[in-house]
């Protein structure tokens, strides 16, 4: 491609980070920011030690404790010995290799994809990686951000670069404006429902259109977060004034003249008008309704005013089979109204929906039910994404609203999103969850997950079932 | 990383689409700081009837005695989707798999396989379907020839491809970190040109 031809944002990010494209080798890209946590880093550090290699740019790496930690106590061993081992190993590794760590109870601690943005570590025009597939979250800022494996974590440690083959590009345009009460979670679930859970494998996706531009940074993060759930390598949203305003003044963001120069550069990142994408998908925002998943992958999703589908609804044999298996695992009968499905657990949290706006939205729904409490047979927990979110929520009195209504107000962490700590579902539990994966066993062996927005999760806690809040 | 040249082995068919990495290795087994000890937990929830993993599920294909020696996994589309955990290829490898064949793989999983020396082979949907038909009774044995990019079984042969560097890395067991460290000067030159905010 010559330099003057129109480019997509992905191509610009790629070009700006291309260290070398040697013949016969996978292109080498520069990595600006590396986020690490306790679960996917220990073996990478072990290999560095084995080869006697340093971390090349410890200042470009930030560590947090999130996956494994207890949400009831800040004690390092509160979630068991296995977890404590990994957490201690992270602390030792960070100390030995000179990496800044937000450890248990630190004011900046939280889920990697929540703290990166809120601390100003996540910047447009950068490449951000983390040994976690929801790294795509940071694409909300116009950063090329994606999850990597432990061998790649080691490669980034040692070289501050990564080898990546170029992905194809997909544009997803959401035209017009969403109706009242429709959240960012509903938008992304509707997109995945349309593409299927592998619809963007091999692509980097750019979200655009009026409905996307209208989103706040928190909402954009919810959208980009779930890019991996339809197979995309990364998700991007062009940075604009909303983005710059969010970043300005954050703890780690550039200041003064450097910030001004950065904004000037960031304004050039957006895809050129005539840029050509390998695939284009369009949705009408006004058609998007509140979404609830019924199956065992995020593509198995339907509007809350719909019914559980039947295998007969699918012509593709693989999808038909998946539907049969999913209905069996989820213990659902085709034709059941989504609003008739009863839950006994509610989880509001995860890097998809644990930011301050998510908690405000959930609290708003709780308040609408004036004085009603979480129904007797439901356990509902709220897990803020970070200590900063927790503190902000408490300063606004949101914790009181939740606690008064019978929710448990927990300490930050990944928690029941993956259940590596003791926040796990029991066999047969049915959970309304604001997380991002409804895979078999994800939240606990034999447990059933329905992915929803924070608003829907709050309503399900109070009523015991899914509710069409906009009816 | 071990070098990969050719491999002949028994195929076990796992005819399920969208097998995610949570199924390949559930989260409760990720609390290790070493690279070993994952093989026994491979496909835990399907392989064992109980949570503790003491009762073998006789219906799960990998547990069947005729597939005990299998070293090639024939899988459904979008294999390895979900979490980026490299523990998934580690578990598959430690169990004894050398090759995974599917019509499509999730991107991160595919890259992780290459990085650990487990060969992911993409064949067309029709070819994979043909293999699934042969695998159950025939005790299908395949020969995978990486240098020539071909999978053979008697008269049948299927071509596959990898990117040039991935092929080279697998065949030669390249230490990818060492390879890149040899280019430190190029990386440093790149860093010098970066804007102040980056
Ligand atoms: S909240 Fe869930 S998806 Fe997000 S980083 Fe933690 S475990 Fe991964």
Q: What is the mean pLDDT of each run of 10 residues along chain A (471 residues)?
A: 81 98 96 97 97 98 97 95 96 98 97 98 98 97 97 98 97 97 98 95 97 98 97 97 98 98 98 97 98 97 98 94 97 98 98 98 97 97 98 98 98 95 95 97 95 98 96 83
User: Cβ–Cβ of B180/A147 closer than 8 Å?
Assistant: no
User: Cβ–Cβ of B180/A26 closer than 8 Å?
Assistant: no
State the CB neighbour count (10 A cutoff) for residue B56.
12
What pLDDT is recorded for position B66?
92
ipTM of the shown complex: 0.95
Distance CA A441, CA A448 (A): 7
User: Cβ–Cβ of A19/B186 closer than 8 Å?
Assistant: yes
Could you give the residue ranges of the DSSP H alpha helices within A274-431?
317-330, 356-368, 387-395, 398-404
What pLDDT is recorded for position A2?
52
Distance CA B106, CA A230 (A): 10
The DSSP code for A129 is: E
Q: Which contiguous run of DSSP H or E holds residue B6?
A: strand B6-14
What pLDDT is recorded for position A3?
61
Across the interface, of A68, A150, A231, the residue whose CB is closest to B31 is A68
Which residue out of A39, A64, A67, A298 has the highest number of ligand 1 atoms within 8 Å of its CB and is therefore the one to mutate?
Answer: A67
User: Cβ–Cβ of B84/A126 closer than 8 Å?
Assistant: no
Kindly identify which residue of chain A lies nearest to residue B189, measuring between CA atoms. A19
What pLDDT is recorded for position B1?
82
Could you give the residue ranges of the DSSP H alpha helices within chain B?
21-24, 44-47, 87-95, 107-116, 125-138, 164-172, 176-181, 184-192
Across the interface, of A133, A151, A262, the residue whose CB is closest to B115 is A151
SS3 for A83?
A: helix
Substitution target from B14, B37, B55, B82 for chain A, most A beta carbons within 10 A: B82
* Residues in a beta bridge with A110: A386
- Say what the alpha-carbon torsion angle B160, B165, B166, B168 is, to the nearest 10 degrees: 80
What pLDDT is recorded for position A1?
47
What pLDDT is recorded for position A245?
98
A-B C-beta contacts closer than 8 Å: 185
Arithmetic mean of pLDDT over chain B: 95
Q: How confident is the model at residue B139 (pLDDT cuts 50, 70, 90)?
A: confident
Distance CA A8, CA A6 (A): 7
Which atom of ligand 1 is closest in space to residue A354's alpha carbon? 1
SS3 for A225?
A: helix
pTM recorded for the entire structure = 0.96
Q: Ligand 1 centroid vs A420 CA: distance in angstroms?
A: 10
Ordered DSSP codes for A374-408: --TT-EEEE--SBHHHHHHHHHTTHHHHHHHTT-E
CA dihedral (B128, B130, B133, B135) positive or negative: negative
Ligand 1 binding site (Cβ under 6 Å of any ligand atom): A 66-67, 111, 113, 132, 134, 350-351, 414, 417-418, 435-436
Counts for chain A of helices (H) and strands (E), in that order: 15, 19
Q: Ligand 1 centroid vs A145 CA: distance in angstroms?
A: 15
What is the separation, in whole angstroms, between the first and last Cα of chain A? 51
Across the interface, of A132, A201, A261, the residue whose CB is closest to B84 is A132
Q: A49: number of CA atoms within 13 Å, CB side?
A: 12
User: Cβ–Cβ of B45/A39 closer than 8 Å?
Assistant: no
Which atom of ligand 1 is closest in space to residue A417's alpha carbon? 2
Distance CA B40, CA B37 (A): 7
Q: A214: number of CA atoms within 13 Å, CB side?
A: 16
- How far is C-alpha B80 from the chain's CA centre? 8
For residues A362 and A462, the answer to whether their CB atoms sit within 8 Å is no
Q: Ligand 1 centroid vs A414 CA: distance in angstroms?
A: 5
Distance CA A252, CA A42 (A): 26
* Residues in a beta bridge with A337: A307
| Closest alpha carbon to B197 in A239, A120, A253 | A253
Kindly identify which residue of chain A lies nearest to residue B85, measuring between CA atoms. A149
Kindly identify which residue of chain B lies nearest to residue A227, measuring between CA atoms. B82
- Lookup result for tokens 């432990």: A150
What pLDDT is recorded for position B138?
65
SS3 for A450?
A: strand
User: Cβ–Cβ of B84/A32 closer than 8 Å?
Assistant: no
Contact list, A321 vs chain B (CB under 8 Å):
17
- A203-208 and A61-64: which strand pairing? unpaired
Contact list, A125 vs chain B (CB under 8 Å):
198
């Amino acid at each position: 491609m010559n330099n003057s031809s129109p480019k997509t944002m992905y191509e610009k990010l790629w070009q700006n980070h291309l260290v070398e494209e040697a013949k016969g080798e996978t292109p080498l890209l520069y990595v600006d920011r590396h986020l690490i946590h306790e679960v996917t880093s220990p073996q990478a550090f072990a290999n560095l030690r084995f080869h006697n290699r340093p971390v090349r740019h410890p200042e470009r790496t930030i560590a947090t404790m999130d996956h494994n930690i207890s949400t009831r106590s800040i004690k390092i061993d509160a979630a068991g010995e296995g977890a404590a081992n990994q957490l201690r190993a992270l602390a030792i590794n960070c100390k030995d290799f000179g990496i800044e760590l937000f450890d248990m109870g630190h004011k900046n601690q939280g889920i990697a994809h929540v703290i990166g943005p809120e601390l100003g570590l996540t910047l447009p025009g950068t490449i951000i990686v983390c040994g976690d597939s929801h790294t795509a979250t940071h694409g909300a800022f116009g950063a090329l951000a994606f999850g990597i494996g432990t061998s790649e974590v080691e490669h980034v440690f040692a070289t501050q670069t990564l080898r990546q083959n170029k992905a194809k590009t997909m544009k997803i345009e959401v035209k017009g404006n969403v109706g009242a009460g429709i959240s960012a979670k509903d938008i992304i679930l509707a997109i995945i429902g349309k593409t299927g859970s592998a619809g963007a494998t091999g692509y980097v996706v750019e979200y655009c259109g009026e409905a996307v531009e209208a989103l706040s940074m928190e909402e954009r993060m919810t959208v980009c977060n779930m890019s991996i759930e339809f197979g995309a390598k990364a998700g991007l949203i062009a940075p604009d004034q909303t983005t710059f305003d969010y970043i300005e003044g954050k703890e780690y963001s550039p200041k003064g003249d450097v910030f001004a120069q950065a904004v000037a550069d960031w304004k050039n990142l957006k895809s050129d008008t005539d840029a050509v994408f390998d695939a284009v998908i369009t949705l009408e925002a006004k058609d998007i309704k509140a979404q609830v998943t019924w199956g065992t992958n995020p593509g198995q999703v339907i509007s809350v005013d719909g019914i559980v589908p039947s295998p007969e609804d699918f012509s593709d044999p693989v999808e038909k089979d998946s539907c049969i298996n999913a209905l069996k695992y989820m213990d659902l009968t085709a034709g059941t109204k989504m609003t008739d499905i009863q839950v006994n657990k509610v989880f509001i949290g995860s890097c998809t929906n644990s930011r301050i706006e998510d908690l405000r939205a959930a609290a708003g729904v709780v308040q609408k039910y004036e004085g009603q409490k979480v129904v007797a047979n439901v356990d509902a927990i709220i897990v803020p994404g970070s200590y900063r979110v927790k503190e902000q929520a408490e300063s606004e009195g949101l914790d009181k609203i939740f606690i008064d209504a019978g929710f448990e107000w927990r300490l930050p962490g990944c928690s029941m999103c993956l259940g590596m700590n003791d926040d796990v579902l029991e066999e047969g539990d049915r959970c309304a969850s604001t997380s991002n994966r409804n895979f078999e066993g994800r939240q606990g062996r034999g447990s059933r997950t329905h992915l929803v927005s924070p608003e829907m999760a709050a309503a399900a806690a109070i009523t015991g079932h899914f509710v069409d809040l906009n009816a | 990383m071990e070098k990969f040249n050719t491999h002949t082995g028994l195929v076990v068919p796992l005819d399920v689409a969208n097998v995610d990495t949570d199924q390949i290795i559930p989260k409760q087994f990720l609390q290790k700081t070493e690279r070993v000890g994952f093989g026994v937990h491979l496909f835990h929830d399907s392989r064992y009837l109980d949570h503790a993993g003491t009762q073998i599920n006789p219906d799960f294909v990998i547990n069947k005695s005729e597939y005990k020696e299998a070293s090639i996994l024939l899988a459904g589309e979008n294999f390895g989707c979900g979490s980026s955990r490299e523990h998934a290829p580690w578990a598959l490898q430690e169990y004894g798999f050398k090759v995974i064949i599917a019509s499509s793989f999730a991107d991160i999983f595919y890259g992780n396989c290459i990085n650990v020396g487990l060969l992911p082979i993409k064949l067309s949907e029709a070819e994979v379907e043909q293999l699934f038909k042969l695998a159950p009774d025939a005790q299908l044995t395949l020969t995978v020839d990486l240098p020539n990019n071909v999978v053979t079984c008697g008269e049948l042969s299927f071509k596959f491809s990898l990117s040039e560097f991935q092929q080279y890395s697998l065949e030669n067991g390249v230490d990818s970190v060492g390879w890149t460290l040899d280019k430190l000067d190029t990386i440093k030159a790149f860093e010098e040109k970066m804007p102040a905010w980056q």
